[in-house]
Amino acid sequence: MRRVRFGVAVGITGVLASTGVLTQADPPAGGTVCGRVRLQGGAPACAPIPIESAEHRTSCGRADVPNETLLVSADGGVRNAVVTLEAKEGETPAPAAIEACLFDQQGCLFLHHVMVIPVGSTVRFKNSDNTAHNVRTNSRRNPAFNETIPANGEITKTFERAERIEVTCTIHPFMSAWLVVVDTPYWAVTGEDGSYSIANVPAGTYKIRVWHESRDYDRSGPGEVTVAAGAGATADYSLVKKN
């Protein structure tokens, strides 16, 4: 399905937490898709990841880092799930690229753990620590790289194709994060309580997908959502432990 660029302007809330779309002049009123992603059953205990090397404990200034693989609120809300919409019929407009998105490292921790960018966006991989980091991507559709960033330095990369990319540091193996490159302007990342909101979605029926890095859980919820002009639509999801 060919994708066309509509001259889309992207609005950012927080640090790339959600996106809204403004089309060309006199667009039809858009709707909002919102909901929550929740964990079914009790949340597992996620103990911090210890930093085993004494040298790394000294250079990082800490004894451990938080385990961000599965962050769950007191009432089961799942943080860092990525929700995307794609037109079920017709063409999904291409998202507008963002220049110089900041993917920082502080205290031997990637900030933020899950970052979403539109295709064509440029990312500044910054090292705000006083120790060197080595940033490695396992990308397949975009050029993979494995480069050292000196203390307080940075490198810049552009991502032209949609894919989910795990980012690690080979110097500090306890560091990991995800960069999610999307080819739709309709997306959101769930917040601390598991909620998300995608605004200014033109009326229509969309395929809706939820991704979370944990491989131990299946996603349960609707496969599509219908948006009416000027109205809201709700789509809730659960992460269910695999047998």
pLDDT at 88 (0 to 100): 87
pLDDT at 100 (0 to 100): 86
- Reported as type and span, the H/E element at residue 239 is strand 237-241
In a domain, residue 4? The reply is no
pLDDT at 102 (0 to 100): 96
| Other C-beta atoms lying within 10 Å of the C-beta of residue 134 | 15
In a domain, residue 3? The reply is no
Cα Rg of the chain, angstroms: 19
In a domain, residue 234? The reply is yes
pLDDT at 107 (0 to 100): 95
In a domain, residue 47? The reply is yes
Q: Round to whole Å and give the CA distance between 184 and 117.
A: 10
In a domain, residue 1? The reply is no
Do the Cβ atoms of 8 and 93 come closer than 8 Å? Answer: yes
Domain extent for 103 = 9-241
pLDDT at 171 (0 to 100): 96
Residues facing residue 31 across a β-bridge:
201
- Consecutive sets of 10 residues in the chain, 243 residues long: mean pLDDT of each? 37 38 50 97 87 96 96 95 93 92 96 96 97 96 97 97 97 97 98 97 96 94 95 96 88
In a domain, residue 35? The reply is yes
CATH at 157: 2.60.40.420
- Reported as type and span, the H/E element at residue 59 is helix 54-60
In a domain, residue 19? The reply is yes
pLDDT at 7 (0 to 100): 33
In a domain, residue 2? The reply is no
β-pair type (101-105, 121-127): parallel
- Tokens 């709707």 label which residue? 31
- Residue 220 CB contacts under 8 Å (≥ 6 apart), including other chains: 40, 237, 238, 239, 240
Instruction: Work out how many domains the chain is built from and give that number.
Output: 1
pTM: 0.86
